[in-house]
Amino acid sequence: MVHEVDEELREIKREIIESRGLVIKTNNLTNALSADIRSIAKRQQQYERRITWSSATSYVVFVLVVFAALKLAMDARIDQYTAKIDQLKADSEQREKDVKRMIERENERKTADERAAKFYELVRQGKRSDLVVQWEQMKGQPLTKAETLMFGDAVERAKNELAAQLYQQGMDKVRVQRWQEAASAFEESIKYREDAAIGPSVRLGLAEAYRHLNRQKDAIPILTQLAENAVDKEVHDDALYLLAWCQMEVQAWNDAKNTWRTLIRRFPESKFTPEAKLQLAQLQLMH
């Protein structure tokens, strides 16, 4: 009986010991599980924190990208509008310049029309001197082609008429031996029309006036040119005759001899030929 009691006590004791060991194991497992749970919770918190930061960073990056894209779009739109405004300003300035030029041209044309009317009045009244003087100013005006041709022809006629008139005045002064007035008239005639048909005769008259004014050195180049010009044959013998006398008066004896010989050779029938032979003979004896 005692043995059975002892056996039961030992069995109870063993069960108590096993229960205690089981409790300890359970406690250890619980502690381990708790540690694992805390570790998992900590990792979950870290993961959530990383996700939060990643989300925040992504949001910030997204916002920055959006703002950058908006800024680029706004800058492009601003540049587009700025370029358009600049183009409009340039077009406006160009139009203003065009309008200003048109107004200036219109004013110039109006002024030119007024001057053309006044110039035509000079043509109609036959004021040749005024025509020639004012023509230089008129040429710079915006005249039409017809006006330019008409006025140009009128001025050329005026020059020819003035040159002829002054030549006639010079010849009138020569007849009364008023040499200074004759020279002035011939010089003015040449200024008006240097290439006029009467040009050789005008230069011959001028050279003769210079000779009588003791300006042989001015007369000699004119007479030399006339004597050497094969076109103006009508004044050849006259030019040679006056040239020889001018050369003698400035004591260019050899030049004078050659000029007399040329006159005799070229114009044996000239009215000056007898005198040319006489003067040549005298020069050969004295010089």
Task: Give the per-residue pLDDT at 201.
Answer: 85
Q: What is the pLDDT along the chain (287 residues), one digit of tens a residue?
A: 556 667 777 777 777 777 777 778 877 777 777 777 777 777 777 777 777 777 777 777 777 887 788 888 888 888 888 888 888 888 888 888 888 888 777 666 666 555 655 655 555 555 555 555 555 666 666 566 666 666 666 666 767 777 778 788 888 888 998 989 988 988 888 887 777 777 888 888 888 999 899 998 999 999 888 888 755 566 788 889 999 999 999 999 999 899 999 989 988 888 888 998 998 889 888 87
| Structural domain total, the chain | 1
Q: Which domain holds residue 173?
A: 159-286
In a domain, 21, yes or no: no
- What is the rounded CA–CA span in Å between residue 30 and residue 22? 12
10 Å Cβ neighbour count for 149? 11
pTM of the shown model: 0.55
In a domain, 140, yes or no: no
Task: Give the per-residue pLDDT at 258.
Answer: 92
In a domain, 131, yes or no: no
In a domain, 227, yes or no: yes
In a domain, 271, yes or no: yes
In a domain, 181, yes or no: yes
In a domain, 194, yes or no: yes
Tokens 């004078």 — which residue? Answer: 256
Task: Give the per-residue pLDDT at 115.
Answer: 63
In a domain, 132, yes or no: no
Q: Which CATH number covers residue 271? A: 1.25.40.10
